[in-house]
A = this chain, B = another copy of it.
């Protein structure tokens, strides 16, 4: 088991590394390349939604592609070079090719005075613009004079691309995983998400399942809106619980962002697992949301999708800069999040209403489930007797776990033992 975990963590980190160099955006070949690499691991289907398609209040934008971009100083040296780091270009920059004064150039530059070493990540999807991002330090080195600016990009009709995998189970009820593939070279937000989701998917495929799993790899915001607009009825009818998987690669903390309602089935599952596994996890408010949970919890949508993350988007200084790189995430960071999310899925599979078949306490001693000698310390009720006390057909496993303050993974073997001796009845309805 430990070896398997090491393998998984290495492989997840390897996938992050493979995907890192690609210049992704909300549309275009970066997304397609990314999905192709993932498809080598798990059998996703790839969909294209044409530019101009109306999706709720939004419209699928033109497709953006970029070949090169740089700023040349008077000596012909590249002061800024997209080929060195794809964060240097403002996402969706229109093409440009002209020579301008530094003062004019400055209006198109983005840097972070508080993080002088970091290149910021900036986009302008819905307003035609061009711009370059660079570190405050490099910006300070620009001298007065003329600069030749070249952006060899294209905006034209095309499509928005996303991947989807539906893994059927015994029940039509669905567990939903959503992750995004639209950021250029940044590791925690976002490549940790697709990597962990890919390996969770492999694990789901490897086992027998009660529930159906719906797993999507989409561009953020416009992608979730597009996916919702095409699948809303099904999602609304079948979704049991969903998780937006993002920022799951660093080592610093575990975090939780609730759904808008705050008490959906997804919240209950996530809170149960986190509170026993990582009791010091950071509990955010829905007001701290910043990713696709926004769309899944929008008014009228209200799907039970919450987030279990490590250092949450917007809450770590490296977020949306070049510092969110391959050093910021780690194999251990990835596998920690993988394990928590896996436990969430295991719990969803096992979380039924349990009921002891006899009236009164069963006599455990005669079944070899309890010491036959009674001493002073017998006054303490163990987990099995506590489980039995609440196994009344009304409490589900999460309820019981919380009432008896015992993690569900300590209850699985108890359920097995009681089932084997015929004392336990399970209500699989959900």
A375 within 8 A of B: yes
A164 within 8 A of B: no
What 1/0 mask marks residues of chain A from 392 to 414 whose CB sits below 8 Å from any chain B CB?
Answer: 11000000000011000000000
User: Which residues 301-340 of A sit at the B interface, judged by CB distance below 8 A?
Assistant: 301-302, 313-314, 319-321
A373 touches B122 (CB 8 A): yes
Indicate whether A123 sits within 8 Å of B373 (C-beta atoms), given known contacts A298-B359, A319-B379. yes
Q: How far is the CA of A361 from the CA of B225 in the complex (A)?
A: 8
| The stretch of A1-9, A76-84, A125-133 that contacts the partner chain | A125-133
A389 touches B126 (CB 8 A): no
Q: How far is the CA of A129 from the CA of B365 in the complex (A)?
A: 14
A356 touches B122 (CB 8 A): no
What 1/0 mask marks residues of chain A from 359 to 384 whose CB sits below 8 Å from any chain B CB?
Answer: 11111011000001111100111000
A161 within 8 A of B: no
A360 touches B120 (CB 8 A): no
- A300 — which chain B residues lie within 8 A by C-beta? 356, 359-360, 392
A297 within 8 A of B: yes
Q: How far is the CA of A354 from the CA of B366 in the complex (A)?
A: 52
Other-chain residue from B56, B314, B391 in contact with A358 (beta carbon distance below 8 A): B56
| The stretch of A41-49, A97-105, A264-272, A284-292 that contacts the partner chain | A284-292
B360 touches A122 (CB 8 A): no
A319 touches B376 (CB 8 A): yes
Q: How far is the CA of A264 from the CA of B40 in the complex (A)?
A: 59
Indicate whether A298 sits within 8 Å of B373 (C-beta atoms), given known contacts A379-B313, A381-B289. no
User: Which residues 108-129 of A sit at the B interface, judged by CB distance below 8 A?
Assistant: 110, 112, 120-127, 129
A403 to chain B, nearest CB (A): 8
Which residue on B lies nearest to A115, using beta carbons? B376
B392 touches A299 (CB 8 A): yes
Q: How far is the CA of A34 from the CA of B77 in the complex (A)?
A: 88
A389 to chain B, nearest CB (A): 6
A400 to chain B, nearest CB (A): 11
A70 within 8 A of B: no
Q: How far is the CA of A389 from the CA of B301 in the complex (A)?
A: 10
A228 within 8 A of B: yes
Q: Closest 8 CB pairs between A and B? A: A314-B379, A127-B372, A299-B392, A56-B360, A57-B358, A320-B376, A290-B379, A57-B362
7 extra interface residue pairs, beta carbon distance < 8 Å, beyond A228-B359, A299-B388:
A56-B359, A90-B373, A120-B375, A123-B374, A294-B381, A298-B360, A314-B380
